[in-house]
Structures are given as structure tokens and as C-alpha cells.
């Protein structure tokens, strides 16, 4: 389920960045790529370096079924969302197009 959400978020951010860039007069294709990368790169980085090792460390303990462990296991989705929103706000919206 998390992978499906990740794919949907990636496509959604790519489309959102594309539409905003074309509205601002910037290159929509390039910004769509930036939108996808700005979600995927931090999400996968967080998952591989923090989330998965944490889950592996508590495997077999009583805390494994805890709500916090489940949230930590899916926290990479939130990290990707927040990062993509920050790129949108502080990079894409401040883009100036030279004519």
C-alpha cells in the first residue's frame, strides 16, 4: 500500500509542478522532473537510512506491533511530501523566466 501511495504522490507532484511551471512560463517538463525527484530522493533516502534500520532494530521485540513502529515504517512518505512542498514553495514559486 505504501508503494502505491508513493507512486501516486510522485505522479501527483510531477503533474502539479508541471502545471504550475507552465502557468509561470517556465519549462514544465523540467519542473515535472524536479517535482518527482524532490519527492522520491528524500523519501527513499529517509527510508533506507533511518526508517528501515529502526524497524529492523526492534524486530522481534514487544514494541514491534506498536503504533509508533508502524508510523516510523511509513514516515518516509511524510518526509517526501514535506520536502516536495518546500521545493514547491521556495524554488518553483520564486522562479523568474527570462524572455
In angstroms, the CA 45 to CA 91 distance is 21
Q: What is the pLDDT of residue 3?
A: 87
Task: Let me know: does 31 contact 20? Beta carbons within 8 Å.
Answer: yes
Q: What is the pLDDT of residue 54?
A: 74
Q: What is the pLDDT of residue 36?
A: 97
10-residue mean pLDDT profile of the chain (99 residues): values are: 91 97 94 97 91 72 60 84 96 83
For helices 75-87 and 2-24, the axis angle rounded to 10 degrees is 0
Q: What is the pLDDT of residue 21?
A: 95
Q: What is the pLDDT of residue 75?
A: 87
Task: Let me know: does 28 contact 18? Beta carbons within 8 Å.
Answer: yes
In angstroms, the CA 27 to CA 41 distance is 21
Q: What is the pLDDT of residue 62?
A: 56
Q: What is the pLDDT of residue 1?
A: 79
Q: How far is CA 64 from the centre of its chain?
A: 25
In angstroms, the CA 22 to CA 59 distance is 47
Amino acid at each position: 500500500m505504501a508503494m502505491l501511495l508513493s507512486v501516486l504522490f510522485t505522479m501527483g507532484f510531477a503533474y502539479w509542478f508541471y502545471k504550475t511551471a507552465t502557468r509561470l512560463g517556465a519549462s514544465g517538463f523540467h519542473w515535472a522532473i524536479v517535482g518527482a525527484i524532490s519527492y522520491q530522493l528524500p523519501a527513499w533516502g529517509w527510508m533506507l537510512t533511518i526508517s528501515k534500520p529502526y524497524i529492523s532494530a526492534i524486530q522481534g521485540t514487544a514494541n514491534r506491533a506498536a503504533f509508533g513502529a508502524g508510523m516510523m515504517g511509513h514516515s518516509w512518505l511524510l518526509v517526501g511530501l514535506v520536502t516536495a512542498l518546500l521545493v514547491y514553495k521556495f524554488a518553483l514559486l520564486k522562479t523568474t523566466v527570462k524572455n
